Structure 1
């Protein structure tokens, strides 16, 4: 698989548009589309390639870089993108454009042991107290967007343009129950057509 084909495949797997990825690099929105379909530029600039490799959690060599890579780039570590999004219950948080502004570095071996695919992970911030004490205001959560059959757990979900983080259970036929850890918030029941389950929360970090 060529570097162009690999980049196109990674973008499809992540659900990232080439235009958004181009803007992430500070380029014209058609930059990566032209690179993949027209071969212009012939090769990615080194900084662009490095940024994309970190975003997708792959070695630079898979995107056309040299085999002489640092330890972090040989696959021992994966950089999971931090997205400028907040997930809340209560009033919710409006979703911003999902362009990473930073990254957390995880051991590839640890992710493999947890059964997590680096390409399907991203980190966002918790806002508000609805999931306190399980998740506190300002905690960072790791969201696994891998498509799987539904099972109860803590999920990030979208209703309209608003993001929430809730414990999700099956409700009456055709519905889901959204439950807060904070007992001050009552459970709510929503129709399946009202909610989009973005991903399951699989890890958290936060200050003591």
Structure 2
């Protein structure tokens, strides 16, 4: 990093210190911004890239709870650029998590750090009955919920809605599944697939963690 200025070195050092203080690795922060695991390690130690892209910088700063200029390697305006005519606060971001909810054999859960987000107006969420929901977006993998949910669909999971029957994302051990949840015998629940080729699964309630109810889906036509 021979050509890197002292102020740039300090900014990189602050990023490394903040990551350590938050008990987050540089690899996890790299995945947060959709980069390969070594991206920020190279940025901090080798000075490559010379500067982080503004959207990446803002996302990292927001995650660490600091002003972007604190970790910026060049002059930076903390105020985000708003290129829409929608009033501030009228947009809601739904984080996309690097997890697959398996509609088939269980997908292993990963770190729940968002790598991207869907952006919706509050008006649309209100019209869809989703205002105030604790939403996360994850991808469906497998065919056990065909034709209702197809592999590759994105689903919104409301973590505020865990009780009752319906289509839920559930965790069994370390694996995530998306299934129709139904009450069974006392103390037990049944996990039902939409695809008739998959037999129902019956488990004790203590064996299943309900993550949240599926409230929206999107995918290719």
The question of a shared fold, defined as TM-score above 0.5 by the shorter chain, is answered with yes
Q: Is the 8 A contact 2:104 2:141 kept in 1?
A: no
Deviation at 1:136, TM superposition (A): 0.3
- The reply to whether residue 100 of structure 1 matches residue 127 of structure 2 is no
- What secondary structure, in the 3-state scheme, does the structure 2 residue paired with 1:111 have? helix
SS in 2 for 1:193: helix
Instruction: Supply the RMSD in Å over aligned alpha carbons.
Output: 3.0
Report the equivalent of 2:159.
145
Taking the aligned partners of 2:81 and 2:155, their CA distance within structure 1 comes to: 33
Selected match of 1:78 from 84, 88, 92: 92
Counterpart mapping for 1:125-144 below 5 A: 125-144=139-158
Gaps of 5+ in 2: 1-21, 34-38, 42-53, 64-77
| Deviation, structure 1 residue 106 | 1.3
Counterpart residue number, 2:104: 90
CA drift at 1:141: 0.3
Q: CA deviation at 1:158?
A: 0.3
TM-score, structure 2 length as denominator? Answer: 0.64
Once the two structures are TM-superposed, the CA of residue 103 in structure 1 deviates from its matched residue by: 1.1
Q: Secondary structure at the match of 1:204?
A: strand
**Corresponding position of 2:125:** 111
SS at match of 1:173: coil
Q: Which residue of 2 aligns with 1:162?
A: 175
| SS, match of residue 103 in structure 2 | coil
Max radius of gyration: which structure? Answer: 2
Q: 1:96 to 1:68 in 2, by over 3 A?
A: closer
What is the CA deviation profile of residues 37-82 of structure 1, one whole-angstrom value per residue up to 9, with x for unaligned ones?
A: xxxxxxxxx8688437988xxxxxxxxx659955467122212111
Mark the CA change 1:20 to 1:170 in structure 2 (over 3 Å): closer, same or farther.
farther
* Distance (Å, rounded) in 2 between the aligned partners of 1:141 and 1:98: 15
Kindly tell me: are residues 68 and 165 of structure 1, through their superposed partners in 2, closer, same or farther at Cα, counting changes over 3 Å?
A: closer
Deviations along 1:117-144, whole A, 9 cap, x unmatched?
A: 25x1110000000000000010000111
Aligned residues: 164
TM-score by length of 1: 0.67
User: 5+ residue gaps in structure 1?
Assistant: 1-17, 29-45, 56-64
**Alpha-carbon spacing, 1:27–1:133, altered in 2? closer, same or farther (3 Å):** same
d(CA) in 2 for partners of 1:163, 1:96: 10
